[in-house]
C-alpha cells in the first residue's frame, strides 16, 4: 500500500483495547485519531487496536457513534492503553458533524444539533429515508406525501422562513451539498420524488440535523431552513488489514392503512332510480333491486356487465339480487425488496469503502413501482503524515412507474371512489372497439383499471455525486482543507395517456428531460493557538464557490394518430418548451472559536456572500453568528454533585440570509399557451405565428437578500450517572424582507409582483429526553422522547396585501397576516354573531332546514401545522434479543378532506347511507328568522348533497377541514442479534435478524385516509387530501450480516 508515516525518531507504538463501560464488552469500530494529523486506526471486533504515534503528537481521540468521545494523552513511555467508553444517551458529548463537515465536540456547541445513527435508517422500509426521521427529532416535522412507491417527503425544521420559496433544509453528504430538487409536486399528475431520496441509507454512518441559524450559518443561504448533514461510512484500517463486509436484505409487505369509507347500499342513478352512465350514486337501494337482461331495459350491455338494474318487482327482473362491489379490491399488497452490500478496508495509510444497493418498491396501486440502484466508492490516502487526499464517487439510478393521482379525471383514486357501488370496474376496462369501459359510458373519469394499464408515467434518473479533496496539516497549528464536489443528474420523464383516457381523450405524450449540475468548492484554512494552559483558540477562514445549472426540455404531443404508439412523431399537435437556470454564489467565511479550560466555549462566525440573482448593487451581504456553551458542571463545586453528572448552558444568536429567485430583477416576455380555467388551450406557435405576452411576474431592480435572525437558548443536562438526559431548547426566529411573489389583483397588469415584503416569526421549544430505566449486563432499556412545539405567525406581507395563497383545492392554503403560515381559508356556513350556524327556515326555500353557505368573505379555518408533536422511542434489549417501538403523537393541525367533500356530491360516501324519507336529521344551529334552536327535520339526500350545498362542489369548504392529529405506532421492531463469539467465531462477525412493523396502529379523528398525506408532495402547499394515494402500513423482515 501507500507510504506510511515517516519513521523518524521518537515514534511511539501504542496499543490496547477499548471496552463498553457498562457491559464490559469489547467495542469494535472505535475510531482512534491522532489529533491534528491524518493518522488513525479503528478497533477490531475484539476491541483491540495499535497505532504509531508520531513524534511531537500526544493527544489521541477515541470516538464512536453513541459513545462519549474520550481524549487521552498517553505518557511518553506508555505503550499499552486500555480504555472504557461510556454510552452517550442523548449524544451530548460525542463528536458531531457540523457545518461544512467540521466534526466538533457536542459540548463545544452553543446550539442544538441532533444526530441519529445510520442504523435508524435500515430497520424500517422507506423509499424515502426522510420518513425515518419522523418522531425522532425535536423541532422537526415530517410529512410523507403519500403511500405511493417513490413519493416525496416534506421536512420542516423549526417552522418556515420563506413564504412561497424553499422551506426545505439543505442536504449535505460528507460536506458536499446535494440537490433535493423536487419537480412536479402538483395537484394532479403523479406522486413524484424529491431527489434526496436517491441517497442509499445503507451508506449512512450518521445523520445530524442542524436546526438553528448558528448551526447552519456557515452553509450560507442554502441552509436557511436548517441542514440534514449525512456522514457516510468510511473504510477503516483494522488490525491485520482485513477487509470487512456487510450485507443487508429486507422484504416488506404493505397495504393501505386507512381508506375513505364508502356506502354500498345505493346504486348508480338519480332521484332514487337507476341510470346507466349517470355520474352519481343517487340511485335505487340495491337491496330492493334485481337485474333485467331484456334488451328493452338493458340498453348498455357494454357498460353494465350484470344487466340493467331494475326493481325486484319489475316484470323482467331475473330475481337475482343486485350486487354491490368493493372498489378497494382494486388495491394490492405491495411487495418491496432491498439489498445492500458494502466492502471496506484499509491500511494505516489508505482506506476504501465500496457499496452497492438495490431497492425495488411496489405501491399498493397496481403498476406503481419505484427502483433505486446505487454504487459507491470512497477512499482516502495519506500521502504523508500531514497530507491526506480523499474522494468519493456515487452513482445512482432511480425511477419508476407512477400512477395518476389527485384532481385529475384519469386519477386512480378519483375514478375508484366515484364509481357507484353497483358498477363493477373489474368487469373489463376496454371494450372490443378499443374504447374505454367505465361507469360513465366512456366519459367522466377513467376506470382505474384502465388508468393504471393505459396511462403511464415513468421517470428515469441517472445521477453522479462525486467529491475530492485534501487535508493538509501544514504545521502543528495550521491546516488547509479543500473539497470540490459535483452533483449531476438527469431526470427524464415520459408520460402518456392512451386514446380514450378521460384526461386526454385523444391520447397524449409528454416528454421531459431535465438535467441539473451543482458544483461546490470549499477552501478552508484553520489555525489553532493556545494561550497559556487554559485558553485554546482557533480561527478558520474559508472561501466558497457554488454554481447550479439546470436545463429542462419538454415536449408535449396531443392527439395521437396511431393508438398505442407513444412517441412525439405520432401527434398532430406538438409543443416544445425549454428552460434554463443558472445561479452562482461565492462567499468568504470565518469561524473564531475559543474555549476556556474546556468549560466555556465561544464561537463567532461571519460570512459574506455574493449571489448573481440579486441586482449588482445589492448582491453582496454579510451575516454573523455568535454562540456560547458553558459546561457549568466543570465548575467547583457543581462538579461534585452526584446526581447531576453533566450540565451545559448554551446560547446563540445568528443571522442567515437568502437570495432571490433567478431572473427576477426585471420583467421579460414569454410565450406559453392561451389556457382557460378548464385547461383547454391554444398552443403557440399557433397557426403559423409565434405569440408573446408580458411575463405575469413583475420583476424588480430593488431586490435585497432576505434575512432571518435566530435566538436560541438551551441546556443539556445529564442526571444520575447516565440514566437521564435532557436537552432543552427555546428558540425565537424572525425572518424579514422575505422575498415573495406577491399576488396582486390582475387588474394591475400582472399576476404577481416579486418583492421583499414578508415578515414571519417562529418561536418554539424542543425537548429531547433520554432515559435509561434499566441497565444491566443482560437487560437494557433506553427510552427517548422528542417534543416539538412551534408557534409561527406571518407578521407582515406586502403593503395592502394581507394574504398570499400558496395553493388551493376547494379550500385555500395561505400565508395571511396575523395567522400561522400555511393556514386554511375558505367559505363557511352563514353564522350569527355567536358563531351558531344559521338554518334556513323559510318553508318556501329549496334549502329549508339546511344551513346556507356564506360566500361574502373568506374565513380562517385552521392551520396545517400541528400544535405539538411528541415522539417516544423505546429500545429494550435482553441479551441478544431487542425490541423497540416508536410512538408518534401529533396534536392539532388540519387537513382539507376534499375527497369527502366531493364524494358527498356523488353520493358514494359512507355518511350517505341514510337517505330514506324516514332518515330524518336536524342540523345543529339556529333558525335564521328568529335565532331559536333549529328543530326542522330534513332528509340528507340528493336534495342536499347534490342539488343543495352539501358538497364541496356546491357549497362551502369549511365543513371538510378536519383535525388531522394522530397517535400512531410508527415503528415496532423485534430483532435478534448474534455476535462473532456467539456464532462460534465463524467468518460472520454479526448476524441480525429483524422484523419491523410500520404504522401498525393509527388513531386519528380524520375521516379519510392516513392524514399524513400531501397532494402537493413536498412543496409548501401542505394539508390537502383530494383523492390522494392512501398511506400505507407494512411489515418488513430483514437480515443483516457483517463479516
Partner 1 sequence: MKRNINTGNKLRMVLVMVISAMLFHSCEKWIDPDINQNPNQPADVTMEALLPFIEAGMAFRLAGGNEVVNVQAVWLQQFDGVDRQSLAFANYVYNPLEAFYIWTDSYAEMLMDSRILREKAAQLGSPHNHGVAGILSAFALGQLTDAWGDIPWSEALQGAGNPQPVFDSQESIYLAIHELLDHAIDSLAKEQDPYGIKGDYIYSGDPQKWIRAAHAFKARYFLHLSKRKGSQAYLDALDAIPDAFTDNHDDMQFNYGTGQGESNPLYQFMRDRNDVRMGAYFIDLLKNTEDPRLAVYAYPDGQGNYTGSVAGQANDQASTPGPAVASPESPSYFITYAELLFIRAEALLKTGGDEAQVKIALEEAVAASLEKLGVNDPEWLSGYRGKIAGMTGETLFAEIMTQKYIATFYQPETYHSWRRTAYPVIPPNPNGLIGEIPRRFLYPTSEQVYNPNVPTGISLTDRVWWDE
Per-residue contact string for residues 221-260; x = within reach of partner 1 by CB under 8 A: ----------------------------------------
- Please state, in angstroms and rounded to a whole number, the distance separating the CA atoms of residues 877 and 298: 66
Give yes or no for a cis peptide into 392 (omega within 30° of 0).
no
Which residues, numbered 676-695, are part of the site for partner 1 (CB under 8 A)?
A: 676-684, 686-687, 689-695
Question: Would you count residue 24 as binding partner 1 (CB under 8 A)?
Answer: no
Alpha helix segments (H runs only) across 84-223: 213-216
Judged by CB, which is closer to partner 1: 10, or 261?
10
CB burial of residue 369 (10 Å; 0-12, 13-18, 19+): buried
Which residues, numbered 725-764, are part of the site for partner 1 (CB under 8 A)?
A: 742-751, 753, 755
Q: Which of 662, 763, 993, 1035 binds partner 1 (CB under 8 A)?
A: 662
Which residues, numbered 968-1007, are part of the site for partner 1 (CB under 8 A)?
A: none
Question: Would you count residue 424 as binding partner 1 (CB under 8 A)?
Answer: no
Question: Would you count residue 475 as binding partner 1 (CB under 8 A)?
Answer: yes
Judged by CB, which is closer to partner 1: 20, or 59?
59
Question: Would you count residue 480 as binding partner 1 (CB under 8 A)?
Answer: yes
Judged by CB, which is closer to partner 1: 156, or 558?
558
Helix (H, G, I), strand (E, B) or coil at 101: helix
Question: Would you count residue 922 as binding partner 1 (CB under 8 A)?
Answer: no
Total site size for partner 1, rule CB under 8 A: 112
Q: Which of 295, 301, 773, 846 binds partner 1 (CB under 8 A)?
A: 846
For residue 952, the minimal CB distance to partner 1 (Å) is 10
Question: Would you count residue 670 as binding partner 1 (CB under 8 A)?
Answer: yes
Question: Would you count residue 54 as binding partner 1 (CB under 8 A)?
Answer: yes
- Please state, in angstroms and rounded to a whole number, the distance separating the CA atoms of residues 834 and 95: 57
- Length reported for the chain: 1043
C-beta neighbour count of 380 within 10 angstroms? 21
Choose the stretch contacting partner 1; rule: CB under 8 A; options: 469-477, 530-538, 721-729, 788-796. Answer: 469-477
Question: Would you count residue 68 as binding partner 1 (CB under 8 A)?
Answer: no
Give 159's Cβ-side CA count (13 Å radius): 31
For residue 482, the minimal CB distance to partner 1 (Å) is 8
CA 659, 660, 663 angle in degrees (round to 5)?
140
Which residues, numbered 265-284, are part of the site for partner 1 (CB under 8 A)?
A: 270, 277-279
At 352, list the grid cell: 476504501
Judged by CB, which is closer to partner 1: 300, or 976?
300
Question: Would you count residue 555 as binding partner 1 (CB under 8 A)?
Answer: no
Cβ-Cβ contacts under 8 Å for 755 (sequence gap 6 or more)? 700, 702, 703, 739, 740, 742, 798
Question: Would you count residue 665 as binding partner 1 (CB under 8 A)?
Answer: yes
Per-residue contact string for residues 436-455; x = within reach of partner 1 by CB under 8 A: -------xx-----------
Question: Would you count residue 530 as binding partner 1 (CB under 8 A)?
Answer: no
Q: What is the DSSP string of 46-85?
A: TSEEEEEE-TT---EEEE-TTB--EEE---TT--B--EEE
Question: Would you count residue 818 as binding partner 1 (CB under 8 A)?
Answer: no
Measuring CA to CA, how many Å separate 1002 from each of 877, 930, 967, 968? 25, 44, 6, 4
Question: Would you count residue 809 as binding partner 1 (CB under 8 A)?
Answer: no
Instruction: State phi, psi for 106 to the nearest 5 degrees.
Output: -55, -40
Cβ-Cβ contacts under 8 Å for 75 (sequence gap 6 or more)? none
- Give me the torsion for CA of 886, 891, 892, 896, rounded to 10°: 30
Q: Which of 38, 700, 1028, 1036 binds partner 1 (CB under 8 A)?
A: 700
Alpha helix segments (H runs only) across 574-613: none
Q: Which of 175, 505, 893, 907 binds partner 1 (CB under 8 A)?
A: 505
Phi-psi region of 862 (alpha: psi -120 to 50; beta: other; left: phi over 0): left
**Contact between 403 and 363 (Cβ < 8 Å):** yes
Pairing type for strands 693-694 and 669-670 reads antiparallel
For residue 703, the minimal CB distance to partner 1 (Å) is 10
Fill in the DSSP letter of residue 689.
B
Per-residue contact string for residues 172-201; x = within reach of partner 1 by CB under 8 A: ------------------------------
Question: Would you count residue 474 as binding partner 1 (CB under 8 A)?
Answer: yes
Question: Would you count residue 939 as binding partner 1 (CB under 8 A)?
Answer: no
Helix (H, G, I), strand (E, B) or coil at 982: helix
For residue 954, the minimal CB distance to partner 1 (Å) is 6
Question: Would you count residue 56 as binding partner 1 (CB under 8 A)?
Answer: yes
- Please state, in angstroms and rounded to a whole number, the distance separating the CA atoms of residues 643 and 319: 81
Which residues, numbered 556-615, are part of the site for partner 1 (CB under 8 A)?
A: 558-559, 571-573, 575, 578-580, 582-586, 588, 610-613
For residue 268, the minimal CB distance to partner 1 (Å) is 13
Question: Would you count residue 313 as binding partner 1 (CB under 8 A)?
Answer: no
Choose the stretch contacting partner 1; rule: CB under 8 A; options: 27-35, 456-464, 521-529, 990-998. Answer: 521-529
Q: Which of 395, 730, 953, 1043 binds partner 1 (CB under 8 A)?
A: 953
Question: Would you count residue 76 as binding partner 1 (CB under 8 A)?
Answer: no
Q: Of 584, 518, 581, which is closest to residue 553 (Cα–Cα)?
A: 581
Q: Which of 22, 35, 492, 506 binds partner 1 (CB under 8 A)?
A: 506
For residue 781, the minimal CB distance to partner 1 (Å) is 48
Instruction: State phi, psi for 415 to the nearest 5 degrees.
Output: -65, -35
- Give me the torsion for CA of 908, 910, 913, 915, rounded to 10°: -70
Judged by CB, which is closer to partner 1: 497, or 868?
497
Judged by CB, which is closer to partner 1: 168, or 407?
407
**Contact between 30 and 49 (Cβ < 8 Å):** yes
C-beta neighbour count of 702 within 10 angstroms? 11
Question: Would you count residue 801 as binding partner 1 (CB under 8 A)?
Answer: yes
Judged by CB, which is closer to partner 1: 10, or 434?
10
C-beta neighbour count of 162 within 10 angstroms? 22
Amino acid at each position: 500500500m501507500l507510504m506510511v508515516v515517516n519513521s523518524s525518531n521518537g515514534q511511539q507504538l501504542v496499543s490496547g483495547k477499548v471496552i463498553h463501560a457498562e457491559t464490559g464488552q469489547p467495542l469494535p469500530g472505535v475510531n482512534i485519531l491522532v489529533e491534528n494529523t491524518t493518522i488513525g486506526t479503528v478497533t477490531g471486533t475484539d476491541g483491540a487496536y495499535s497505532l504509531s504515534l508520531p513524534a511531537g503528537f500526544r493527544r489521541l481521540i477515541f470516538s464512536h457513534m453513541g459513545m462519549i468521545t474520550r481524549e487521552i494523552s498517553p505518557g511518553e513511555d506508555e505503550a499499552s492503553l486500555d480504555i472504557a467508553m461510556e454510552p452517550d444517551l442523548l449524544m451530548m458529548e460525542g463528536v458531531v458533524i457540523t457545518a461544512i463537515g467540521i466534526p466538533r465536540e457536542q459540548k463545544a456547541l452553543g446550539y442544538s444539533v441532533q444526530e441519529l445513527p445510520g442504523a435508524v435508517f435500515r430497520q424500517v422500509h422507506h423509499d424515502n429515508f426522510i420518513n425515518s426521521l419522523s418522531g425522532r427529532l425535536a423541532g422537526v416535522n415530517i410529512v410523507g406525501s403519500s403511500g405511493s412507491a417513490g413519493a416525496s417527503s416534506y421536512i420542516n425544521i423549526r417552522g418556515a422562513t420563506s413564504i412561497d420559496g424553499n422551506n426545505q433544509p439543505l442536504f449535505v453528504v460528507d460536506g458536499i451539498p446535494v440537490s433535493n430538487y423536487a419537480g412536479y409536486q402538483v395537484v394532479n399528475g403523479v406522486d413524484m420524488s424529491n431527489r434526496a431520496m436517491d441517497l442509499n441509507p445503507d451508506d449512512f454512518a450518521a445523520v445530524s440535523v442542524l436546526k438553528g441559524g448558528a448551526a447552519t450559518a456557515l452553509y450560507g443561504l442554502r441552509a436557511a431552513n436548517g441542514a440534514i448533514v449525512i456522514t457516510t461510512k468510511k473504510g477503516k484500517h483494522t488490525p491485520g488489514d482485513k477487509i470487512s463486509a456487510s450485507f443487508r436484505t429486507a422484504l416488506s409487505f404493505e397495504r393501505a392503512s386507512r381508506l375513505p369509507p364508502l356506502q354500498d347500499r345505493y346504486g348508480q342513478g338519480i332521484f332514487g332510480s337507476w341510470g346507466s352512465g349517470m355520474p352519481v350514486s343517487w340511485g335505487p337501494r340495491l337491496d330492493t333491486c334485481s337485474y333485467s337482461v331484456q334488451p328493452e331495459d338493458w340498453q348498455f350491455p357494454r357498460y353494465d356487465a350484470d344487466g340493467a338494474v331494475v326493481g325486484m318487482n319489475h316484470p323482467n327482473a331475473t330475481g337475482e339480487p343486485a350486487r354491490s362491489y368493493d372498489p378497494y379490491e382494486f388495491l394490492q399488497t405491495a411487495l418491496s425488496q432491498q439489498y445492500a452490500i458494502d466492502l471496506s478496508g484499509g491500511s494505516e495509510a489508505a482506506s476504501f469503502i465500496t457499496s452497492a444497493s438495490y431497492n425495488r418498491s411496489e405501491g399498493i396501486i397496481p403498476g406503481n413501482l419505484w427502483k433505486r440502484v446505487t454504487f459507491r466508492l470512497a477512499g482516502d490516502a495519506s500521502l504523508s503524515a500531514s497530507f491526506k487526499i480523499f474522494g468519493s464517487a456515487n452513482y445512482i439510478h432511480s425511477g419508476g412507474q407512477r400512477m395518476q393521482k389527485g384532481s385529475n379525471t384519469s386519477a386512480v383514486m378519483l375514478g375508484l371512489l366515484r364509481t357507484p357501488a353497483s358498477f363493477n370496474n373489474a368487469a373489463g376496462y376496454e371494450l372490443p372497439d378499443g374504447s374505454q369501459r367505465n361507469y360513465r359510458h366512456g366519459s367522466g373519469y377513467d376506470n382505474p383499471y384502465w388508468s393504471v394499464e393505459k396511462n403511464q408515467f415513468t421517470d428515469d434518473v441517472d445521477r453522479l455525486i462525486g467529491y475530492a479533496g485534501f487535508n493538509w496539516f501544514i504545521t502543528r497549528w495550521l491546516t488547509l482543507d479543500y473539497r470540490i464536489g459535483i452533483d449531476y443528474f438527469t431526470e427524464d420523464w415520459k408520460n402518456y395517456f392512451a386514446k380514450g383516457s378521460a384526461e386526454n381523450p385523444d391520447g397524449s405524450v409528454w416528454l421531459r428531460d431535465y438535467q441539473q449540475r451543482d458544483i461546490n468548492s470549499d477552501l478552508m484554512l484553520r489555525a489553532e493557538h493556545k494561550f497559556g494552559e487554559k485558553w485554546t483558540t482557533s480561527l478558520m477562514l474559508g472561501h466558497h464557490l457554488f454554481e447550479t445549472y439546470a436545463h429542462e426540455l419538454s415536449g408535449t404531443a396531443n392527439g395521437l394518430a396511431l393508438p398505442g404508439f407513444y412517441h412525439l412523431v405520432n401527434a398532430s399537435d406538438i409543443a416544445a418548451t425549454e428552460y434554463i437556470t443558472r445561479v452562482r454564489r461565492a462567499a468568504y467565511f470565518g469561524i473564531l472559536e475559543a474555549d476556556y479550560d474546556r468549560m466555556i466555549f465561544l464561537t463567532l462566525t461571519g460570512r459574506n456572500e455574493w449571489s448573481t440573482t440579486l441586482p449588482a448593487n445589492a448582491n453582496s451581504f454579510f451575516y454573523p453568528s455568535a454562540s456560547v456553551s458553558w459546561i457549568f458542571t466543570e465548575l467547583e463545586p457543581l462538579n461534585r454533585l452526584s446526581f447531576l453528572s453533566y450540565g451545559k448552558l448554551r446560547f446563540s444568536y445568528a443571522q442567515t440570509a437568502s437570495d432571490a429567485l433567478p431572473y427576477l430583477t426585471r420583467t421579460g416576455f414569454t410565450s406559453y399557451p392561451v389556457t382557460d380555467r378548464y385547461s383547454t388551450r391554444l398552443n403557440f406557435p399557433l397557426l403559423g405565428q409565434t405569440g408573446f405576452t408580458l411575463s405575469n411576474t413583475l420583476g424588480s431592480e430593488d431586490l435585497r437578500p432576505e434575512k432571518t435572525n435566530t435566538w436560541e437558548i438551551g441546556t443539556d443536562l445529564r442526571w444520575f450517572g447516565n440514566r437521564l438526559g435532557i436537552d432543552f431548547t427555546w428558540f425565537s426566529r424572525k425572518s424579514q424582507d422575505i422575498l415573495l411573489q406577491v399576488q396582486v389583483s390582475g387588474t394591475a397588469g400582472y399576476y404577481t409582483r416579486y418583492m421583499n415584503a414578508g415578515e414571519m416569526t417562529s418561536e418554539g421549544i424542543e425537548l429531547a429526553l433520554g432515559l435509561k430505566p434499566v441497565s444491566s449486563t443482560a437487560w437494557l432499556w433506553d427510552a427517548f422522547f422528542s417534543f416539538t412545539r412551534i408557534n409561527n405567525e406571518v407578521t407582515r406581507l406586502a403593503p395592502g396585501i394581507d394574504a398570499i395563497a400558496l395553493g388551493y383545492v376547494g379550500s385555500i392554503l395561505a400565508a395571511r397576516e396575523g395567522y400561522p403560515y400555511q393556514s386554511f381559508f375558505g367559505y363557511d356556513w352563514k353564522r350569527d354573531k355567536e358563531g351558531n350556524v344559521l338554518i334556513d327556515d323559510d318553508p318556501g326555500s329549496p334549502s329549508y332546514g339546511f344551513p346556507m353557505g356564506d360566500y361574502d368573505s373568506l374565513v380562517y379555518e385552521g392551520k396545517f401545522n400541528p400544535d405539538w408533536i411528541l415522539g417516544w422511542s423505546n429500545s429494550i434489549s435482553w441479551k441478544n434479543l431487542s425490541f423497540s417501538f416508536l410512538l408518534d403523537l401529533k396534536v392539532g393541525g388540519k387537513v382539507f378532506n376534499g375527497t369527502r367533500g366531493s364524494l358527498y356530491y356523488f353520493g358514494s360516501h359512507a355518511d350517505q347511507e341514510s337517505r330514506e324519507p324516514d332518515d330524518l336529521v336536524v342540523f345543529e344551529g339556529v333558525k335564521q328568522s328568529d335565532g331559536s334552536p333549529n328543530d326542522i327535520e330534513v332528509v340528507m339526500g340528493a336534495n342536499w348533497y347534490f342539488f343543495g350545498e352539501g358538497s364541496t362542489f356546491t357549497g362551502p369548504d369549511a365543513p371538510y377541514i378536519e383535525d388531522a392529529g394522530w397517535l400512531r405506532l410508527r415503528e415496532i421492531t423485534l430483532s435478534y442479534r448474534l455476535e462473532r463469539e456467539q456464532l462460534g467465531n465463524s467468518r460472520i462477525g454479526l448476524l441480525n435478524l429483524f422484523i419491523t412493523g410500520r404504522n401498525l396502529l393509527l388513531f386519528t379523528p380524520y375521516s379519510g385516509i392516513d392524514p399524513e398525506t400531501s397532494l402537493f408532495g413536498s412543496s409548501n402547499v401542505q394539508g390537502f387530501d383530494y383523492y390522494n394515494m392512501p398511506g400505507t402500513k407494512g411489515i418488513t423482515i430483514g437480515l443483516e450480516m457483517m463479516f
